[in-house]
Amino acid sequence: MAAIFWWSLPHSFGSMVLANAGQSALEERLFKWVMLDEDGWTYSFFQNYIDVTGSQQYWDFFAPQSPKFHQYLSVCDSIAAYPEQGKIVCKGQTLFSNLGDDFEVFKRFGSHRSRLYRLTENLANLEDPRLLETFTQYYRTYQHGITEAQLVLHQFELHPGLKDLPRAGYQMDKLLWVSH
Amino acid sequence: MQVMWDNFWFRSIDARQYAALRIAFGGLSAVYLFALLPYVETQFSGSGWLGSIQQIAIQNGGSWSLLFIPAGIHAATLAYTVVIVGILAAFLLMIGWQSRLTAGMTWLVWVSLWNRNPLLLDGDDAVLKMMCFYLLLSPCGNCWSIDACLHKKPPQVAVWPLRLMQFQIALIYFVSGWVKFHSPEWLEGTIMQYVFIHPQYSRWDGWIFINDPLITGLLAGLAGFIKWWEMLFPFLLINAYSRKISILIGILFHLGLLLTMNLRWFPVIMLSLYPALASNRSFFRLEKKLLRCCRVS
C-alpha cells in the first residue's frame, strides 16, 4: 500500500512540483517528502516492489486527456500545407492515418479507433524524438522507394463559446517529425 | 489496539465477495484482451513499430515483459501466443478453474502488455491489471467456481486481500480527485462543456444544449461536486452511513459516464470494483435470492 501510494503521487504531480506551479506549500512539502531520496533503502525497496509486481498506477500520466483538443496522426510520403486553414494534408501516399472526416456525427456506441486515439495523445504529448522516429520509420519501411516520410499531427481546438467556428474546432495541424 | 488491527486485517469473511470480483474481472479481462488482438502485431510484438525499444517501460519503473523475449522472425507469433494465453486464462479465471493460477497468468499478460507498450493503454486497462494481481493474492476460487465444485474449499477466508483492493480503489478516486484540482477546466467548471462536444468522447451532440446558461451552470456545479467527492472518497468510506451515500453517488456517476461518454468499458470496470466495497453479508443474501429465483422459474 505504501509503495503504490509512493508511486502514485510523484507520477501524478511530479511535473507540477518540478515546475513549482499550481501547488500549495503543503502539497509541495508532501510531495518532496513522499518522493524520497533516490539513494535510500526505502526508495530502492519501493521501486523494486513496483517493478516486480507491475504495480505502476497508470491513470493518465503519459498524456492527461485534455478535452479541449482532439487530435490524430498521419504518416505521409509528402505533404501540402494550407496555413490559412491550419491544415496539413498528405500530398502523395498516406502511409498511416487515424484521421476521420465525420466529426459532426457523434458515435452512440463508441469508436473502434479509441486505442489509436490514445496512442496519438501519448505520442503528441511525449514528443520523444526516438519514439516519433521509430513510429514514422515503421510505416515508411512498408513502402519501397520512399526516401522520406513525415509525421503530421492533426489537432483541433474546441471552443464551446464560439459558434462561428466549425463544430470540429479550430484546426492547427503541425509537422511532428521527418524521417529520412 | 491489537484486537482492532487483527480484526481489520485478519478476520474471516465470506469468500463469495472474492468470487463476485473474480467473475467480473476475469470476464472483463477476457473481453479486453480479445479486443486488443487487432493491435498485437503492430503495437506489442517485436516486429511492430516499437521494435526492440524498452525505454518506455524502464522510464516508468518496469523492467520485464514476456514480450521482451527475443523471438526474431517469430516475434509476432510470440505476441499472439501471449495474448491468446491471456484470453484463455482470463476466461478460466471467470469460471473459476485453477483460479489463483489463472489470475496469475492473466496478470502476467497484462503487465507484459503494459511494459511493452503503455502508450496504447489507459486507466481501464490499468484497473484490470491491478485487480488480477489482487485476485492472485486472494482465495477467489473458494465459491461460485469449478474449483469449489471439484474440491471442498473453506467458505470463510482472510480479509486482508480485500483490504488491499479497498485501499487501491480509494487511492484511484483520491488521486483522480486531487489531479482535478490542478486542471484549469475542472476549476473553471467548463470541463463538461468540452466533453459533451468532443467528437471522440461524447456519445451525444452536446452543441444542442451547451450554450444554455442554466445547463452550463448545472454542469459547472456537477464538476465541482465530482472533484470534491472523488478527493474525499477514502474518508467517506470510513463511516458506514457516508459509505452508503458515497457508493450510491459512485454508481450514479459511472452510470452517467456510461450513458454520455465513449470510454470503452471503463464505467463498467469501475462499477465492477464496487462489490469490494459492499457489505460482506450481501453476497450470501444475493446467492439466496438467485437460488430462490431459479427454483421459482
Identity of the residue numbered B259? L
Residues of A in contact with B182 (CB under 8 A): 13, 16, 22-23
**Mean pLDDT across chain A, nearest whole number?**
84
Whether the pTM exceeds 0.95: the reply is no
Please say whether the beta carbons of A9 and A28 come within 8 A.
no
Contact list in B for residue A108 (CB cut-off 8 A) is: 203-204
Helix (H) or strand (E) holding B229, with range, is helix B213-236
Q: Which of B53, B198, B262 sits opposite A158 (nearest CB)?
A: B198
Residue A17, helix vs strand vs coil: helix
Residue of A28, A155, A167, A21 lying closest to A98 (CA atoms) = A155
CA–CA separation, B241 and A154 (whole Å): 49
What integer pLDDT is reported at residue B250 of this predicted model?
97
- Between the two ends of chain A, the Cα-to-Cα distance in Å is 47
CA distance A30 to A24: 10
pLDDT tens profile B240-271: 999 999 999 999 999 999 999 999 999 999 99
Residue B179 pLDDT > 90: no
Q: Which of A164, A162, A159, A174 is nearest to A71 (CA)?
A: A174
- Whether residues A139 and B49 touch (CB distance < 8 A) is answered with yes
pLDDT tens column, B228-243 = 999 999 999 999 999 9
pLDDT given for residue B30 in this prediction: 98
For the segment A58-70, the average pLDDT, to the nearest whole number, is: 72
Q: Which of A98-112, B9-23, B75-89 has the lowest mean pLDDT?
A: A98-112
Task: Give the Cα-Cα-Cα angle B202, B259, B94 (nearest 5 degrees).
Answer: 115
Rounded CA-CA distance B272/B262 in Å is 18
Cβ contact A167–B114 (<8 Å) = no
The verdict on a CB contact (< 8 Å) between B61 and A59 is no
What pLDDT is stored for residue B27 in this prediction? 98
A72 pLDDT more than 60: yes
Are B19 and B144 contacting, i.e. CB atoms less than 8 angstroms apart? yes
Give the number of C-alpha atoms closer than 13 A to the C-alpha of residue B226, restricted to the C-beta side: 21
**Cell numbers linked to B170:** 480509494
In whole angstroms, how far apart are CA B189 and each of B183, B221, B240?
10, 7, 31
Is residue B272 within 8 A of residue B25, CB to CB? The reply is: yes
CB of B76 within 8 A of CB of B41? yes
Are the C-beta atoms of B114 and A58 separated by less than 8 Å? yes
How many residues in total does chain B contain?
A: 297
Q: What are phi and psi of A87, to 5 degrees?
A: -110, 140
Which residue in B118, B129, B194 is closest to A68 by CB distance? B194
pLDDT in tens, A2-52: 888 888 776 666 555 555 555 567 777 777 777 777 788 888 898 899 999
Picking from B167, B182, B190, the nearest residue to A1 by CB comes out as B167
**Residue B154: burial class (beta carbons within 10 Å; 0-12, 13-18, 19+):** exposed
**For residues B12-29, average pLDDT:** 97
- Quote the pLDDT of residue A60: 58
ipTM of the complex: 0.92
Write out the H or E segment, with its range, that includes residue B234: helix B213-236
